[in-house]
Amino acid sequence: MKRLLQETCKQVSKSTEKCLSDKAFVNLQKRYRNILTRAENELPVIPPKSSGKRGKLAKSDAHNLWERLKIHETAVLLFAKDPHVSFTNNRAERDLRISKVKQKVSGCFRASEYAHANCRISSYLQSMANKGYNPLIAIHIAWAGEAYKVWGE
């Protein structure tokens, strides 16, 4: 499965449209489902629930992963169909990391308005960085009230 997804990621990144054609996507789905079918046969057997015990039956990590891959097939393969969906969630994790570090260092944000302000400032700085601006220059632009000129470009 890992090899299939990595090969597909390379194939998608090399294509000009940044997504697979309909025929290639159908082929990908067939291969994906074939791997899941073969994996189902190799899953460890879930022992029967002993009488008198309450709660959910513990499944192995392999079984849980197989179940998630089967249930969320469309979400797993969405990167191959939609060019706006990235293969990994690294960008989102990096964007959240700064806020989480700030929250851990200071303990918490004193009020929700400060948390919103922190998110707004970091979002602005990230957007400006994506446009190629240095953070100090971006802050200077914001203080000078000239940010509308940058967004109008």
Between CA 22 and CA 25 the distance in angstroms is: 5
Whether 98 and 122 have beta carbons less than 8 Å apart is answered as yes
Query: Which pLDDT value is given to residue 20?
Result: 92
Query: Do 72 and 132 share a domain, yes or no?
Result: no
Same domain, 73 and 6: yes
Single out the residue in 81, 112, 141 at which a domain terminates.
81
The region of weakest confidence among 21-35, 55-69, 96-110 is: 96-110
pLDDT at 65 over 70: yes
Reported confidence tier of residue 56, pLDDT bands at 50, 70, 90: confident
Q: Please state the domain count of the chain.
A: 2
Last residue of a domain, one of 81, 98, 130: 81
- Whether 72 and 100 map to the same domain: the answer is no
Query: Are both 74 and 103 inside the same structural domain?
Result: no
Instruction: State the pLDDT at residue 148.
Output: 64
Asked if 110 and 132 sit in the same domain, the reply is yes
Instruction: Check whether residue 43 and residue 18 sit in a common domain.
Output: yes
pLDDT tens column, 91-143:
767 777 777 777 777 777 777 887 788 778 888 888 888 888 898 988 888 88
pLDDT exceeds cutoff 60 at 153? no
Judged against a pLDDT cut of 70, whether residue 39 lies above it is answered with yes
**Do residue 101 and residue 124 come from a single domain?**
yes
Is the pLDDT at 147 greater than 70? The verdict is: no
Place of tokens 């090969």: 7
Cα-Cα-Cα-Cα dihedral sign, residues 83, 89, 90, 95: positive
Q: What domain range includes position 111?
A: 90-151
Question: Greater confidence, 119 or 63?
Answer: 63
Q: Within 13 Å of residue 61, how many CA atoms lie on the same side as its CB?
A: 0
In the chain the first and final C-alpha atoms are separated, in Å, by: 43
**22 and 57: one domain?**
yes
C-alpha to C-alpha distances, 93 to 28, 86, 97, nearest whole angstrom = 27, 12, 6
Residues 41 and 105 in one domain: no
Residues 73 and 109 in one domain: no
Last residue of a domain, one of 58, 81, 104: 81
Residue 74 sits in the same domain as residue 108: no
Residue type present at position 23 = K
- 140 with 120, same domain: the answer is yes
